[in-house]
Protein backbone atom coordinates (compact mmCIF):
# COMPACT_ATOMS: atom_id res chain seq x y z
CA UNK A 1 0.00 0.00 0.00
CA UNK A 2 2.83 2.40 0.78
CA UNK A 3 4.49 1.58 -2.53
CA UNK A 4 1.23 2.44 -4.31
CA UNK A 5 1.21 5.79 -2.47
CA UNK A 6 4.83 6.46 -3.41
CA UNK A 7 4.13 5.63 -7.07
CA UNK A 8 1.07 7.89 -7.04
CA UNK A 9 3.18 10.65 -5.46
CA UNK A 10 5.87 10.27 -8.08
CA UNK A 11 3.29 10.47 -10.85
CA UNK A 12 1.57 13.56 -9.44
CA UNK A 13 4.66 15.28 -8.00
CA UNK A 14 3.73 14.65 -4.35
CA UNK A 15 6.63 14.09 -1.99
CA UNK A 16 6.03 12.15 1.23
CA UNK A 17 8.23 13.33 4.08
CA UNK A 18 9.26 10.35 6.26
CA UNK A 19 10.45 12.75 8.96
CA UNK A 20 6.87 13.86 9.71
CA UNK A 21 4.99 10.74 8.62
CA UNK A 22 4.59 8.35 11.54
CA UNK A 23 3.09 4.92 12.19
CA UNK A 24 0.77 4.07 15.06
CA UNK A 25 -1.22 0.94 15.93
CA UNK A 26 -4.58 0.72 17.62
CA UNK A 27 -5.89 -2.30 19.45
CA UNK A 28 -2.44 -3.80 20.06
CA UNK A 29 1.04 -2.54 20.86
CA UNK A 30 3.33 -1.60 17.97
CA UNK A 31 5.46 -4.45 16.59
CA UNK A 32 9.08 -4.08 17.64
CA UNK A 33 10.80 -5.61 14.61
CA UNK A 34 8.51 -4.31 11.87
CA UNK A 35 9.51 -1.36 9.68
CA UNK A 36 7.58 0.35 6.94
CA UNK A 37 9.58 1.84 4.06
CA UNK A 38 8.41 4.87 2.19
CA UNK A 39 10.70 5.49 -0.71
CA UNK A 40 14.28 4.94 0.48
CA UNK A 41 13.58 5.71 4.17
CA UNK A 42 11.74 3.93 6.96
CA UNK A 43 8.85 5.36 8.93
CA UNK A 44 9.16 5.59 12.70
CA UNK A 45 6.57 4.47 15.25
CA UNK A 46 4.84 6.84 17.67
CA UNK A 47 2.77 6.38 20.82
CA UNK A 48 0.34 9.28 20.25
CA UNK A 49 -1.53 10.56 17.23
CA UNK A 50 -2.97 14.05 17.09
CA UNK A 51 -5.87 14.30 14.69
CA UNK A 52 -8.31 17.24 14.55
CA UNK A 53 -7.26 18.39 18.00
CA UNK A 54 -7.68 15.00 19.69
CA UNK A 55 -4.72 13.01 20.92
CA UNK A 56 -5.24 9.27 20.46
CA UNK A 57 -3.03 6.91 22.47
CA UNK A 58 -1.63 3.82 20.76
CA UNK A 59 -2.69 0.34 21.76
CA UNK A 60 -5.99 1.26 23.41
CA UNK A 61 -7.12 4.17 21.18
CA UNK A 62 -8.06 6.12 24.30
CA UNK A 63 -8.14 9.89 24.14
CA UNK A 64 -5.57 11.91 26.10
CA UNK A 65 -7.84 14.40 27.81
CA UNK A 66 -5.14 16.36 29.66
CA UNK A 67 -4.73 19.12 27.01
CA UNK A 68 -8.49 19.74 27.05
CA UNK A 69 -8.56 19.88 30.84
CA UNK A 70 -5.65 22.32 30.80
CA UNK A 71 -7.32 24.56 28.23
CA UNK A 72 -10.57 24.40 30.20
CA UNK A 73 -8.81 25.48 33.41
CA UNK A 74 -6.93 28.30 31.66
CA UNK A 75 -10.14 29.67 30.13
CA UNK A 76 -11.91 29.48 33.48
CA UNK A 77 -9.05 31.29 35.22
CA UNK A 78 -9.26 34.04 32.59
CA UNK A 79 -12.99 34.45 33.17
CA UNK A 80 -12.54 34.61 36.94
CA UNK A 81 -9.74 37.18 36.57
CA UNK A 82 -11.94 39.41 34.41
CA UNK A 83 -14.93 39.09 36.74
CA UNK A 84 -12.82 39.95 39.78
CA UNK A 85 -13.29 39.14 43.44
CA UNK A 86 -16.88 40.34 43.74
CA UNK A 87 -18.35 38.47 40.80
CA UNK A 88 -21.88 37.39 40.10
CA UNK A 89 -21.97 33.60 40.46
CA UNK A 90 -24.63 33.05 37.82
CA UNK A 91 -22.74 35.21 35.33
CA UNK A 92 -19.63 33.13 36.01
CA UNK A 93 -21.63 29.91 35.49
CA UNK A 94 -23.10 31.21 32.24
CA UNK A 95 -19.71 32.30 30.91
CA UNK A 96 -18.02 29.03 31.83
CA UNK A 97 -20.84 26.97 30.32
CA UNK A 98 -20.58 29.04 27.14
CA UNK A 99 -16.80 29.28 26.75
CA UNK A 100 -15.06 26.68 28.91
CA UNK A 101 -17.24 23.57 28.83
CA UNK A 102 -17.18 23.32 25.00
CA UNK A 103 -13.37 23.11 25.10
CA UNK A 104 -13.51 20.46 27.83
CA UNK A 105 -16.04 18.38 25.89
CA UNK A 106 -14.53 18.93 22.43
CA UNK A 107 -15.06 15.76 20.35
CA UNK A 108 -16.63 13.94 23.32
CA UNK A 109 -18.79 12.02 20.81
CA UNK A 110 -15.75 9.87 19.96
CA UNK A 111 -14.19 9.64 23.41
CA UNK A 112 -12.89 6.39 24.72
CA UNK A 113 -11.68 7.36 28.18
CA UNK A 114 -9.87 5.42 30.86
CA UNK A 115 -11.26 5.65 34.39
CA UNK A 116 -8.56 8.13 35.38
CA UNK A 117 -9.33 10.38 32.38
CA UNK A 118 -13.06 10.29 33.15
CA UNK A 119 -12.22 11.19 36.75
CA UNK A 120 -10.14 14.16 35.52
CA UNK A 121 -13.11 15.48 33.53
CA UNK A 122 -15.45 15.14 36.52
CA UNK A 123 -12.97 16.79 38.88
CA UNK A 124 -12.36 19.71 36.50
CA UNK A 125 -16.04 20.65 36.29
CA UNK A 126 -16.72 20.03 39.98
CA UNK A 127 -13.75 22.18 41.02
CA UNK A 128 -14.98 24.95 38.75
CA UNK A 129 -18.33 25.06 40.55
CA UNK A 130 -16.67 24.85 43.97
CA UNK A 131 -14.49 27.82 43.07
CA UNK A 132 -17.35 29.90 41.67
CA UNK A 133 -19.44 29.40 44.80
CA UNK A 134 -16.43 29.48 47.18
CA UNK A 135 -17.00 25.97 48.56
CA UNK A 136 -14.62 23.62 50.30
CA UNK A 137 -13.03 20.96 48.08
CA UNK A 138 -14.65 18.23 50.22
CA UNK A 139 -18.18 19.47 49.58
CA UNK A 140 -20.29 17.65 47.03
CA UNK A 141 -20.94 19.80 43.98
CA UNK A 142 -24.01 17.91 42.71
CA UNK A 143 -26.41 20.35 44.35
CA UNK A 144 -24.52 23.28 42.80
CA UNK A 145 -24.75 21.69 39.35
CA UNK A 146 -28.47 21.04 39.88
CA UNK A 147 -29.10 24.58 41.13
CA UNK A 148 -27.40 26.01 38.05
CA UNK A 149 -29.18 23.68 35.60
CA UNK A 150 -25.92 22.06 34.52
CA UNK A 151 -25.51 18.37 33.88
CA UNK A 152 -22.35 16.62 35.10
CA UNK A 153 -19.70 16.64 32.37
CA UNK A 154 -19.84 12.93 31.58
CA UNK A 155 -23.66 13.02 31.38
CA UNK A 156 -23.38 15.83 28.84
CA UNK A 157 -20.79 13.79 26.92
CA UNK A 158 -23.13 10.76 26.93
CA UNK A 159 -26.01 12.95 25.77
CA UNK A 160 -23.93 14.32 22.89
CA UNK A 161 -22.79 10.82 21.95
CA UNK A 162 -26.41 9.62 21.79
CA UNK A 163 -27.45 12.60 19.65
CA UNK A 164 -24.45 12.05 17.39
CA UNK A 165 -25.27 8.37 16.79
CA UNK A 166 -28.94 9.16 16.13
CA UNK A 167 -28.19 11.61 13.31
Q: Which pairing describes strands 22-23 and 41-45: parallel, antiparallel, or unpaired? A: parallel
Nearest partner of 57 among 31, 103, 24, judged by Cα: 24
Cα gap 67→9, rounded to integer Å: 34
Q: In angstroms, what is the C-alpha Rg of the chain? A: 21
pLDDT at 39 > cutoff 80 = no
The confidence score (pLDDT) of residue 35 equals 81
Select from 65, 29, 33, 40 the least CA-distant residue to 153: 65
C-alpha atoms less than 13 angstroms from C-alpha of 94 in its C-beta half-sphere:
6
Q: In the chain, where are the structural domains located?
A: 2-46, 66-166
> How many angstroms separate the CA atoms of 79 and 22, rounded?
38
pLDDT, mean of residues 106-132: 91
pLDDT at 131: 92
The confidence score (pLDDT) of residue 106 equals 93
Residue 8 has pLDDT above 80, yes or no: yes
pLDDT in tens, 76-105: 999 999 998 777 899 999 999 999 999 999
The model's pTM is: 0.77
Query: Given this model, what pLDDT does residue 101 score?
Result: 94
pLDDT of 44 higher than 90: no
pLDDT in the model for residue 90: 92
What is the reported pLDDT for 99?
Answer: 94
Report the length, in residues, of the chain: 167
Task: Give the rounded percent of residues in the chain with a pLDDT score beyond 70.
Answer: 99
Q: Is 45 helix (H, G, I), strand (E, B) or coil?
A: strand
Q: Quote the percentage of the chain above a pLDDT of 90.
A: 50
Amino acid sequence: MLNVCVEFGNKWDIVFNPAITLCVTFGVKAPKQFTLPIGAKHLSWCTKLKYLGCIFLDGSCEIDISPSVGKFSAQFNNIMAVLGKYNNEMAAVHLTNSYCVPSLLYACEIWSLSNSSAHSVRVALNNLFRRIFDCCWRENSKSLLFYCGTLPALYTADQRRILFTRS
